[in-house]
Amino acid sequence: MTAGTTVQAPDGTEVVLGEIGTRVLLENSRVRVWEVSLAPGEAQGWHLHHNPYVVLCLATSPCHMDWLDGSAARELSETVGGSVYRPVSPVHMLTNDGDTPYLNRLIELLDLGEEASGEPYSSGVDGVGSFAGVGEVPAKVVVDEADVQVLHVTPGAGETYTWNVGAHPTLIVDLGITCPDVSYLEPGDTYALPAKDARTNGFNIVELRYFS
């Protein structure tokens, strides 16, 4: 069921499904990255995910998720820089219950869902990703699953760190709400995090570990 499809609620009400995000920021045969932006009191609308996905929080506000099948609503409390990894799920909608904007980046993992390309993938590179050089890097693991690892990195003012991509494709997501930059990197690539004039929300590094 895609956007524009009409489905029925348990009470017989007809519902037209919408998109899973506000706009697409990046898309290739492996991933699709959406921005989800909700003003205070705004609802995203009913939608269905066909692919597992990763949510990266840029601006937080109390939200809740309703389910079309009538299941109990889920209250959401996210942290800027935090992330969750979700499988496909029944038709649902998201509502911003707070008085501040809610903003995230939603990464669809196409190769794990209904939109898998079927294209073989071989990186020819060994090892996991890591920061170049030595010394302490202000980074923490916020998701650590067999399929995906997500790091949150918060450089100080004027600081930059270089990420060496290992065997797995990786996305670098700038969490600055005025800079919706998303970069997709192939195994063996390197990426220098852009230096900022002041400390910001930092970056999420999303390593797609399901690729062998």
Give the pLDDT score at 120. Answer: 73
Judgement on whether residues 106 and 134 belong to the same structural domain of the protein: no
Q: Which of 116, 98, 115, 102 is nearest to 21 (CA)?
A: 102
CATH code of the domain covering residue 84: 2.60.120.10
Instruction: Say what the pLDDT of residue 136 is.
Output: 75
Q: What pLDDT does 103 receive? A: 95
**Could you tell me which of 211, 181, 212 has the C-alpha nearest to residue 196?**
181
In a domain, 193, yes or no: yes
Based on the fold, state whether residues 139 and 203 are members of the same structural domain.
Answer: yes
In terms of residue numbers, what domain contains 202? 130-208
Q: Are residues 11 and 105 in the same domain?
A: yes
88 and 137 fall within a common domain: no
What pTM did the predictor assign? 0.92
Which parts of the chain have pLDDT scores under 70?
A: 1-4, 10, 134-135, 179-180, 212
The residues, any chain, with a CB within 8 Å of residue 150's CB and separated by 6 or more, are 54, 56, 83, 85, 141, 142, 143, 144, 204, 205, 206, 207
If asked whether residues 35 and 96 sit together in one domain, one would say: yes
Q: Are 87 and 139 contained in the same domain?
A: no
pLDDT at 138: 82
3-state secondary structure of 68: coil
